[in-house]
């Protein structure tokens, strides 16, 4: 199984939108995929199931070593796509960095034992605390970055935090920074990609970019990935392209 943390240094970058729709893109391709909501705000759960706060989930597993994993997995209409909600324990203090690393690793072992091929984890903003533990336990990290000039200011801190995490997880595969909320009609938005490529190592900026699209709000309001909407085919093709780009990077890294 491959585990990917979707993480960012700051909030409001489209992380949950990317997580939901990328996971759905992999599942549509026949990959048995588990999407995990590791954001205490329960963003994935709120987007896909209105009863998410009533479900036990990821943080309950971290808090209670006796809790079995299987009952936490929620099936969807797509046989290859399942969810784990943030859970009720996410409302409480869950400790600092390193405090739950062993439990996160146990979670990933359990997910692999359930036959999943891909586990994609949507984390809270910031590469510290439980989010840092998730990154330290995962095989790879994908970093959404809002295509606005102010977002560039967080990149030096991002690189600093990644260096720290790669000390504890030397095998961590940085899949790259994926530009989100791109407005191609604005030069300032287009210029963010150019600036990122000047700041980051080669191949760290994904070729696929996620546009700003009101359809994402419509899909979230209906509790659906965007590809399920009748008018969502074009937007879905973007996530299919990102899926294919990531699959190539994963294969290259494993090879």
Task: List, for residues 58-74, the tens digit of each pLDDT value.
Answer: 999 999 989 999 999 99
Q: What pLDDT, on the 0 to 100 scale, is given for residue 50? A: 56
208: tokens are 């696929």
Q: What pLDDT, on the 0 to 100 scale, is given for residue 193? A: 84
Q: Which residues of the chain have pLDDT under 70?
A: 42-53, 90-98, 255
Q: What pLDDT, on the 0 to 100 scale, is given for residue 69? A: 94
Q: What pLDDT, on the 0 to 100 scale, is given for residue 213? A: 84
User: Which CATH superfamily does the domain covering 2-254 fall into?
Assistant: P-loop containing nucleotide triphosphate hydrolases (3.40.50.300)
What span, in angstroms and rounded, lies between the C-alpha atoms of 166 and 172? 6
What span, in angstroms and rounded, lies between the C-alpha atoms of 11 and 77? 30
CB 74 within 8 A of CB 84: yes
Partners of 118 in beta bridges: 2, 33
Q: What pLDDT, on the 0 to 100 scale, is given for residue 113? A: 96
């Amino acid at each position: 199984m491959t585990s990917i943390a979707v993480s960012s240094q700051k909030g409001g970058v489209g992380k949950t939108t990317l997580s939901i729709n990328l996971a759905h893109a992999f599942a549509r391709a026949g990959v048995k995929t588990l999407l995990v909501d590791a954001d205490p705000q329960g963003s994935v759960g709120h987007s896909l199931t209105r009863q998410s706060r009533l479900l036990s989930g990821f943080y309950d597993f971290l808090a209670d070593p006796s809790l079995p994993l299987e009952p936490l997995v929620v099936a969807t209409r797509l046989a290859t796509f399942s969810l784990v909600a943030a859970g009720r324990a996410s409302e409480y203090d869950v400790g600092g960095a390193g405090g739950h690393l062993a439990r996160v690793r146990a979670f990933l072992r359990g997910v692999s034992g359930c036959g999943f091929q891909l586990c994609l984890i949507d984390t809270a903003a910031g590469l510290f605390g439980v989010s840092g533990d998730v990154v330290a336990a995962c095989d790879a990290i994908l970093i959404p970055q809002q295509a606005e000039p102010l977002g560039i200011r967080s990149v030096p801190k991002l690189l600093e935090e990644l260096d720290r995490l790669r000390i504890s997880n030397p095998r961590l595969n940085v899949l790259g920074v994926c530009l989100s909320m791109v407005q191609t009609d604005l030069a300032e938005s287009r210029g963010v990609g150019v600036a990122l490529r000047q700041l980051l190592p080669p191949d760290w900026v994904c070729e696929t970019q996620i546009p700003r699209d009101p359809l994402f709000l419509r899909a979230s309001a209906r509790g659906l990935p965007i590809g399920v909407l009748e008018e969502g085919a074009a937007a879905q093709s973007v996530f299919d392209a990102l899926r294919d780009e990531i699959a190539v990077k994963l294969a290259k890294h494993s090879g």
